[in-house]
Structure 1
Amino acid sequence: MARYLLSKLFEAALAIWGVVTIVFFVSRVLGDPTVLLLPMGASQQDIDTLRAALGLDRPILEQYGIALLSMLRGDFGISFQHTRPALDVVLERMPATGMLAGTALFFGTLIGAVAGAIAALRRGTISEFVVMTAALLGQATPVFWLGIMLILFFSVQLGWLPTGGSGSLAHLILPGLTLSVFVSASIARLLRSSLLDIMREDYVRTARAKGLMPRTVFFWHIARNALIPVVTMIGIIAGELLGGSVVIETVFAWPGVGRVIMQAIQAQDFPVIQAGVALVAVIFVVTNLLVDLLYGVLDPRIRQR
């Protein structure tokens, strides 16, 4: 188990380093932030002075080396826009993203699990047709379009809910509902497929032939083994949601990590971009690391490979 854990930790560290490196060099392609920070008509001397103050006059590899060493200490520099530590700017948005992601993941997983189980247990019936049609539409519908339609119906037409922003439970309903539709659709389709595959296994037929209760056969022999691919899906979705659902946060003006990264890209605020994407990468990688470790609990054969 220790060897399995070390290998996964090494892969996680390598993935985070790769993301940080790519983001550093790609962000430099955005342009020169001094053009946005200085007033129009600023002299070349003012531009050069500001570039030197920000450390942008050094060779790119030297900037990368300094930035990488600072990141290892948790220092992403000072935000060009906010003039305070970039990591603080990103972390203060994390509770809002966590609330939105947690709401969407909880209700999406709950609805998706129930719907997937119904579709598998009632195969060939109208219930399966309705569930799978709804799941297909849920996965195929662009989230930004769905969010806009929900705003038009519930906020503009009915006036029941606010169009965007944060501050109350009412503000959370529409963005949480929009994200949970895709989550539930993905989980329902995958769980149905996984359950049907497990139901065909020989050990399931043997358990039924031994006279075990149908509930025991389903929960102990079928559902437990069918959860492994579903856990993978949940882990990936959780990492994406916690990392910041940029589109939804933008549509609903939700003050989360994704929105602050988009604002930083528009302003060419390199420290905030690097801090935000690094945090997203860490959350995504750690979430998937926990999923890998959970595999070993669900199926001990996996950690022996």
Structure 2
Amino acid sequence: MSRYFLIRIGQSLLAIWGIVTIVFVVTRMLGDPAVLLLPLGTPDSQIQELRSSLGLERPMIVQYLDFLRHAAVGDFGLSYQSFRPAMEVVLERMPATAILTASSLALGAVLGAATGFAAALARGRFLEFVVMCLALAGQATPVFWLGILLVLFFAVELGWFPTGGWDGPASLVLPTMALGIFVAANITRLFRSSMIETLSEDYIRTARAKGLMPRTIFMVHAARNALIPVVTMLALLAAELLGGSAVTETVFSWPGVGRLLVQAIDSKDFPVIQAGVFLIATIFVGVNFLVDLLYTLLDPRIRLGR
């Protein structure tokens, strides 16, 4: 098992290094931040002076090696906009994104598991058809469009909730619904397929032959093993949402990481972009590592390292 952990840790570090390297190269293609930070018509001498103070006049390989050396200890420099540590700016927005992620996943997991379970049990009947049509519609509907509809109806027309920003728990309802419906649609289809496949396994037939109650077969034997791909999906969705659902946060003016990165890209704030992507990559890799460990709890037949 120790060898398995070492391999997985090595793979994780390699993945994070690859991601931050790509981001470093891509951000240098966005343009010169010194030109953006200074007013129009600024003399070239002042632009060059600012570029020199930001370290942008050095060769690219020197900038890259210096970037890796500082990134290893979580230092991504100062934000070009706020002149504060970039990682501090990103972490400041993480609680809002974490709250939105937790509420959206909770709503999506409960709703998706319930509807997926019902569709699997009603296989071949009208209920399954209705559930799968709704799930397909939920997956096909763009989240930003659904978010705008929710704002127009519940916020503008009815006035039940704020249109955006953070103004107490009521502000969380609409973005949670927008993301939760998307999560539920994915979980519904996946859980239904996994349940149908699990119910055809030999050990389920054996359980039925032994005279176990259908409720016990479905809830204890089938549902537990059918949850394995669902856990993977939830983990990937959780990592994605924790990284910041940029479109949803922009639609609802949510003060999260996703909206921050959109603003940083627009203003060519390299340190904030790099710090944000590094944090997102670390979360994504870490969640996938934890999912591998969780597999062994859901299904004892799965062993680490095999």
- Category of TM-score, reference length = shorter chain: over 0.9
Give 1:121-270 correspondences, 5 Å limit. Answer: 121-270=121-270
**Are the equivalent residues in 2 in contact too, given 1:239–1:284 (CA < 8 A)?**
yes
Separation in structure 2 between the aligned mates of residue 128 and residue 41 of structure 1, nearest angstrom? 65
Q: CA deviation at 1:297?
A: 2.4
Q: Aligned ranges for residues 2-21 of structure 1 at < 5 Å? A: 2-21=2-21
Query: Unaligned stretches of 5+ in structure 1?
Result: none
Kindly provide the amino acid, as one letter, of the partner of residue 246 in structure 1.
A
Structure 2 residues without counterparts, runs of 5 or longer = none
Deviation of residue 228 (structure 1)?
1.0
Residue identity opposite 2:160 in structure 1? W
Q: CA deviation at 1:217?
A: 1.5
Equivalent residues in 2 for 1:8-87, closer than 5 Å: 8-87=8-87
**Residues 5, 293 of structure 1: 8 Å contact kept:** no
Q: Which residue of 2 aligns with 1:303?
A: 304
Taking the aligned partners of 2:204 and 2:299, their CA distance within structure 1 comes to 17
Once residues 13 and 89 of structure 2 are traced to their aligned partners in structure 1, the CA distance between those partners, rounded to angstroms, is 24
RMSD: 1.0
Identity %: 60
Deviation string, structure 1 residues 223-250 (Cα, Å, up to 9, x no partner): 1111111111011000001010000000
Q: Secondary structure at the match of 1:30?
A: coil
- Equivalent residue letter for 2:253: A
Distance 1:4 1:144 in 2: 41
Stretch moving more, 287-296 or 177-186 = 287-296
Distance 1:217 1:294 in 2: 22
Secondary structure of the 1:92 match is helix
**TM-score under structure 1 length normalisation:** 0.98
Q: How far apart, in 2, do the equivalents of 1:295 and 1:181 lie?
A: 26
Q: Deviations over 1:228-282 (max 9, x none)?
A: 1111101100000101000000000000000011100011000000001111111
Distance 2:223 2:158 in 1: 41
Deviations 1:87-111 (CA, angstroms, capped at 9, x unpaired):
0000000000000111000110000
What TM-score comes out, normalization by structure 2 length?
A: 0.97
- The equivalent residue for 2:98 is 98
Q: Is the 8 A contact 1:187 1:230 kept in 2?
A: yes
Deviates more, 1:7-16 or 1:93-102: 7-16
How far does residue 26 in structure 1 lie from its aligned partner after superposition? 0.1
Aligned residue pairs, count: 305
